[in-house]
Structure 1
Amino acid sequence: MRGASIHLDHVGISFGDAHIVSNINLEIRPGEFVCLLGPSGCGKSTLLNAIAGFLPVTGRIEVQGAQVKGPGLDRGVVFQSSEVLFPWLSIRENVEYGLRLRGVAAAARREKAARYLAMVGLSHAGEKFPAQLSGGMRQRAQIARVLINEPSVVLMDEPFGALDAQTREVLQHELDRIWRETGCTIVFVTHDIWEALLLADRVVVMTAGPRAAIKTIETIDLPHPRDAASPECLALYRRLRDDIGAEVTRALQQQGLAREETPA
């Protein structure tokens, strides 16, 4: 598995008269881990879905130099909810599902599923059903189901958002390990500044919508695994908090929920 480059050139996304994002220009390097961060409703997930090929755009999106015109095996998507697992299939059968659709022989599917279940720490749970696993384990299974297809780009839409804090921390560290092991490119949507700091090579901060754009891009040049209590992390946290806080305030003002500040 090798990561692919992603190129967004003057990308805009609209639903009828509603302009969600506008004039997005971004270069993501092969094997890079990029987090999209910003206030609710700024279009982070919409942009992720466009890279996945689920939504039409103005402008141009390319993956490894080829224009995105729809979904493809080069891009895998991990959703926030683990309910996307098929409840009537075992965990192993869920993980094998993409290979089965492509006509891969049963023995080869089993062998590959065993490898990826081991990668996410679920070797013991292959014959269980989703309802028999915790939320964190189901998310691991979803990650394995994506990775088994060996995409060059993995798109993750707040995959740990519904988990408790302890499970979330464990899976953040597991994802960091899996990313470095596979070398794939990851684009990760989150509302959590600490999560972005612990995982990303770069954090892309988006402005409030409508017509959301890129406000700042912060490079996180710190070794893995990262210490959230380090002075460097704390300084980056404050900078990102201030950037996003200004956009949250602007979004609330647009909704009439916050007063405009009066100049002194």
Structure 2
Amino acid sequence: MTKAIETDRRETGSAPGRGAAVSVDGVGIRFGSFQAVSNISLDIAAGEFLCLLGPSGCGKSTLLSAMAGFEAVSEGDLRVGGTPITGPHPGLGMVFQSSEALFDWMTVRQNVAFGPRMRGATRAAQTKLADEYLGLVGLRHCADRFPGQLSGGMRQRVQIARVLANEPGVVLMDEPFGALDAQTRQVMQEETDRIWRASGCTVVFVTHDIDEAILLADRIAVMTAGPAASVKSVYPVDLPRPRDEADPAAAELRRALRADIGEEVRKALRDQGLDPGLDQDVDLKGNLR
């Protein structure tokens, strides 16, 4: 059985591909008197795919924003490739949940070429990079369309291509498929696994979905319920790719993750005054069924 461990300090040296290591060392984040996360330590190896999983409001997106340089840490240290993260970093790319991050007035190719253009690349280099990464996400045939002419899943693939065109060592993904229908979400999960393996990037992926984490991750870090959330346990996912949800080992890991997160959800609801007798009527996002 894959076993959870309370801490996990992996070697973060060089690895095949262009991915960069991320070090999270004793990180805490406060907003005024509110402690969002506390004493989080994770070493994410170069080229690794790490999923952050936990109940709603546990600070997963807050931690990801700090990794992106959008939020300042109150305690501890964040580094990418050994360099402290003190603000937005050229080695980091962020894929948001909403595809509204795309520029509606630009074509798909212009959206993907935007980063290289801002870096001063020649027009020929911009076009070459845009076409390369649109090819990687399977959308080269849409290069001259506008985002509003694409489906939700296609717009998210454009957003991924735009991030990859900046050639970051680390890609941060904040529930990027949360707004998609179930069928499109499944396709995007499969595509993300393929694109990650092709690009060699390090990926940190926030999700509420246990099955999504099992499908994608090398490791899954489970966070405690907030406030002052921390890392409860880390599970290595020792399953061959592409993943088979019917694999008995996947089912066993799913049961362990459900129990781990369910414990945190029930704790949070009891802290909010919920009758413990209602525990069994609560889903893993903390909603009454």
User: What is the TM-score normalised by the length of structure 2?
Assistant: 0.89
Establish whether residue 200 from structure 1 lines up as the match of residue 217 from structure 2: yes
Paired AA for residue 233 in structure 1:
A
> Given that residues 253 and 260 in structure 1 are in contact (C-alpha distance below 8 angstroms), is that contact kept between their aligned partners in structure 2?
no
What's the CA shift for 1:260? 7.1
- Give the secondary structure class of the aligned counterpart of 1:240: helix
Establish whether residue 163 from structure 1 lines up as the match of residue 180 from structure 2: yes
> Given that residues 8 and 24 in structure 1 are in contact (C-alpha distance below 8 angstroms), is that contact kept between their aligned partners in structure 2?
yes
> Given that residues 48 and 157 in structure 1 are in contact (C-alpha distance below 8 angstroms), is that contact kept between their aligned partners in structure 2?
yes
- Which residue of structure 2 aligns with residue 31 of structure 1? 47
- Which residue of structure 2 aligns with residue 14 of structure 1? 30
- Which residue of structure 1 aligns with residue 105 of structure 2? 88
> Given that residues 249 and 258 in structure 1 are in contact (C-alpha distance below 8 angstroms), is that contact kept between their aligned partners in structure 2?
no
**1:153 equivalent among 147, 170, 178:** 170
Q: How far apart, CA to CA, are the structure 2 residues paired with 1:52 and 1:259?
A: 38
**1:221 equivalent among 238, 247, 251:** 238
Establish whether residue 52 from structure 1 lines up as the match of residue 79 from structure 2: no
Q: How far apart, CA to CA, are the structure 1 residues paired with 2:35 and 2:200?
A: 34
- Give the secondary structure class of the aligned counterpart of 1:246: helix
| Unaligned residue ranges in structure 2 (runs of 5+) | 1-16, 279-289
Paired AA for residue 247 in structure 1:
E
- Give the secondary structure class of the aligned counterpart of 1:46: helix
Paired AA for residue 143 in structure 2:
G
What's the CA shift for 1:250? 1.1
User: What is the TM-score normalised by the length of structure 1?
Assistant: 0.97
**What are the residue-to-residue correspondences of 1:37-186 with 2, within 5 Å?**
37-57=53-73, 58-186=75-203
Q: How far apart, CA to CA, are the structure 1 residues paired with 2:271 and 2:179?
A: 28
Q: How far apart, CA to CA, are the structure 2 residues paired with 1:250 and 1:190?
A: 20
Paired AA for residue 191 in structure 1:
H
Query: How many residues matched?
Result: 262
> Given that residues 92 and 127 in structure 1 are in contact (C-alpha distance below 8 angstroms), is that contact kept between their aligned partners in structure 2?
yes
Q: How far apart, CA to CA, are the structure 2 residues paired with 1:255 and 1:131?
A: 42
- Which residue of structure 1 aligns with residue 253 of structure 2? 236
